């Protein structure tokens, strides 16, 4: 007996088309995922390069800052009857005061926000208490 096109199951073509569509969709999703990974990796490399340049720039600024203060002390020497040495002492005192105040404020903020796993340890204690209570209830027949 010869099978005519009308004798084939009606959904055979639909099933094949759905399988092909699923395969195409899976390939599309995998391609998009790979593209997203490549873009993220590229962005991370660019961010690292930017961070390196910024760190180098900050180091250059910090190393040139003493030179700026020496130059400023030379320019201001004799102004207000304060010699170069006096201006340098004023600038050093200002920098040390700013550094100390900044460090103290940072330490205080750190101490306020540092929890040192306190919340996690508290949660673990509560879980242990709950487990003990549950074990005692089971031991009592409850």
pLDDT in tens, 108-118: 998 888 777 77
pLDDT of residue 96: 92
Give me the number of domains the chain comprises.
2
| pTM metric for this prediction | 0.49
pLDDT confidence of 73, banded at 50, 70, 90?
very high
Whole-number pLDDT of residue 6: 58
User: Could you tell me how many residues make up the chain?
Assistant: 142
What confidence score (pLDDT) does residue 119 get?
80
Q: Are residues 90 and 72 in the same domain?
A: no
Q: Is residue 41 part of a domain?
A: yes
User: Are 72 and 92 in a shared domain?
Assistant: no
Residue 3, in any domain of the structure: no
Full residue range of the structural domain in which residue 131 is found: 83-142
Between CA 24 and CA 32, with CA 26 as vertex, the angle to 5 degrees is 100
Query: Which of 40, 57, 76 finishes a domain?
Result: 76
125 and 72 both lie in a single domain: no
Q: Is pLDDT at 70 greater than 60 in this prediction?
A: yes
**Does one domain contain both 87 and 69?**
no
Q: What is the pLDDT of residue 1?
A: 53
Residue 30 CA: distances (Å) to CA of 23, 36, 39: 11, 10, 14
Same domain, 90 and 57: no
State how far the Cα of 132 lies from the Cα of 139, in Å rounded to an integer.
10
Higher pLDDT, 5 or 30: 30
**105 and 62 share one domain:** no
Question: Cβ neighbours of residue 55 under 8 Å, at least 6 residues apart?
Answer: none
Over residues 20-35, mean pLDDT:
89
Mean pLDDT of 47-55: 94
* pLDDT at residue 4 in the model: 57
The proportion of the chain whose per-residue pLDDT surpasses 90, expressed as a percent, equals 44
Same domain, 14 and 62: yes
Identify whether the C-beta of residue 83 lies closer than 8 Å to the C-beta of residue 77.
Answer: yes
Residue 87 and residue 124 in one domain: yes
Mean pLDDT of 75-102: 91
Query: Is the model's pLDDT at 52 over the cut of 90?
Result: yes
Asked, for residue 4, whether it belongs to a domain, the answer is no
């Amino acid at each position: 007996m010869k099978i005519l096109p009308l004798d084939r199951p009606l959904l055979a073509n639909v099933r094949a088309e759905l399988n092909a569509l699923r395969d195409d969709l899976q390939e599309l999703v995998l391609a998009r995922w790979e593209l997203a990974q490549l873009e993220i990796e590229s962005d991370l490399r660019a961010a690292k390069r930017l961070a390196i340049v910024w760190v180098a720039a900050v180091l250059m600024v910090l190393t040139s800052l003493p030179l700026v203060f020496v130059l400023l002390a030379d320019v201001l020497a004799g102004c207000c009857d304060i010699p170069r040495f006096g201006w340098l002492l004023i600038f050093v005192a200002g920098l040390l005061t700013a550094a100390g105040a900044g460090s103290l404020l940072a330490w205080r903020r750190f101490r306020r926000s540092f929890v040192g796993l306190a919340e996690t340890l508290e949660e673990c204690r509560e879980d242990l208490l709950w487990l003990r209570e549950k074990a005692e209830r089971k031991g009592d027949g409850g």
